[in-house]
A and B are shown apart, each in its own frame.
Chain A
Amino acid sequence: MAITGVLRPGHVVIRVLELAPALKHYIEVLGLTEVARDKKGRVYLKAWDEHDHHSVVLREADEAGMDYMGWKVDSPATLKSLAKDIEKSKLCTDLEWIPAGEHPETGERFRFTIPTGHLMELYAEKKYIGNNCGTDGQNVNPDPWPDGQHGISPSRFDHCLLYGDDLDGTVKLFREVLGFSIAEKIVTKADPNFMIGAFLTCSNKAHDVAFIRQPVKGKFHHASFELGSWEKVLRAGDILSRNKVSIDIGPTRHGITRGETIYFFDPSGNRNEVFAGGYIHYPDRPAITWYDETLGPAIFYHDRAINEAFLSVFT
């Protein structure tokens, strides 16, 4: 097995100011499916091609933003050993075990605060509920996609972009403790050792999480969802406009990762992205470098300039 250790981003818990409009957005417009609700009022959602029980959790709160992001690891043994490695690294604070069942159908989770101030979790077990493509039972003789899709209907929750101050500490944690590679980085041309942004992958994706250095702790730039094609990104733009969703920018292309993208906001001002494309990453693929002076085309390849909202609008 080539991909071991941390497998993928498994869930993101997003705070919303009001649950009803958030559900309309994430279910009817984005096209996720509600899977469960719990006693705390949290709503659990998944995208159509995810087999695990849930990937997006919405929690009503007075503040918008991200509570935490959870990472699926390959086994309970890996979970224990990574928890020890995180503790030994001394890079994280607030280490804590969350008991099995605190998220429905999910095993115990190891939670920690990373140097950029974000709460992260690792877990090994979450119930497979399937993608409803099987024609003779789950995963048997499957159709290519299931009936009943609605809204934009991305295949999966794909990654987050997060803002925080101690980028070096967080990158050190993800690379040296959690086994990620840097696929792309933004550095200052004057001092190429000074990183402004890091796009990190634990898989064959161009990124599973990205961080940009900003003088804040624990801030959320966007959660991203995967679409199969550029045409679907354009169609997503149509669906967003039809529903009068606040669009940030796009459809356009990122220089970084080469992805085709549209950024938009949920009803609480949390940014979402749907994207297509990119490339296949392997651990021996040389990291791509972008200089600060080329940040414009790195972020938005066609405009060749970042919009003001890119750096200053986050939750």
Chain B
Amino acid sequence: MSHRVSIENTGESFACAEDVHVLAAMEQACCHGIPVGCRNGGCGACKVRITSGSFHTKKMNRAVVSAAEEADGCVLACKLYPQGDITVKALGRVWGAGTVRKSAHFSLDFTRPALVSQPDKET
């Protein structure tokens, strides 16, 4: 049986069968509202808050979804299975269409931290 999943952040919605996780259904539907990471419950990129609807989940990495967060309706979309129409809000960074940024000069935000030890000398 298929249900409707809506992403609040982007207004996107797509169909998702009960035995397919929400992230896979989103990728199949060419939607991009939830960031895609490992797709296996480990990295936390696809963390969402359920704002309405019933669902069940499979085991998620406790390091990225605490028990308190889970009780509060925060889950990983890659471990989220709808049992009715549901609405979610993506909590992580929304990466936009496509996961590869085609820039030759990818800028990184490496802010220089206070060094605990001195930089290594070059040989």
Contacts and interface: CB of A to CB of B under 8 A. Distances in A.
**Is chain B's binding surface mostly helix, strand, loop or mixed?**
loop
B117 A265 contact: no
Contact of B45 (A62, A194, A292, A309): A309
B37 A269 contact: yes
A118 B86 CA distance: 40
Contact of B120 (A18, A165, A175, A296): A175
A261 B105 CA distance: 22
A296 B103 CA distance: 8
A78 interface: no
Interface string B36-55: 11111111010000000000
Interface string A173-198: 00100000110000010010111100
Contacts of A311: 108
Given A62-B62, A305-B101, A193 B40 contact: no
B32 to A, nearest CB: 11
B120 A168 contact: yes
Interface residues of A, number: 52
Contact of A293 (B101, B105, B119): B105
B39 to A, nearest CB: 4
Given A166-B117, A268-B61, A308 B42 contact: no
A217 to B, nearest CB: 11
Nearest to B96: A308
B100 A307 contact: yes
A19 to B, nearest CB: 11
Nearest to B122: A287
A265 B38 contact: yes
A62 B118 CA distance: 36
A297 B95 CA distance: 20
A106 interface: no
A191 B115 CA distance: 14
A194 B43 contact: no
Given A166-B117, A309-B99, A213 B63 contact: no
A17 B36 CA distance: 19
B82 interface: no
Contacts of B1: none
Contacts of A17: 41-42, 59-61
Contacts of A18: 59
Interface of B: 35-43, 45, 59-63, 93, 95, 99-108, 110, 112-113, 115-120, 122-123
8 tightest Cβ-Cβ pairs between the two chains A and B: A269-B42, A269-B38, A64-B42, A169-B117, A313-B37, A246-B39, A62-B62, A269-B40
Given A65-B61, A248-B38, A303-B102, 15 more contacts: A62-B62, A91-B117, A171-B120, A213-B110, A246-B40, A265-B39, A268-B42, A287-B123, A293-B105, A307-B100, A308-B95, A309-B45, A313-B37, A313-B43, A314-B43
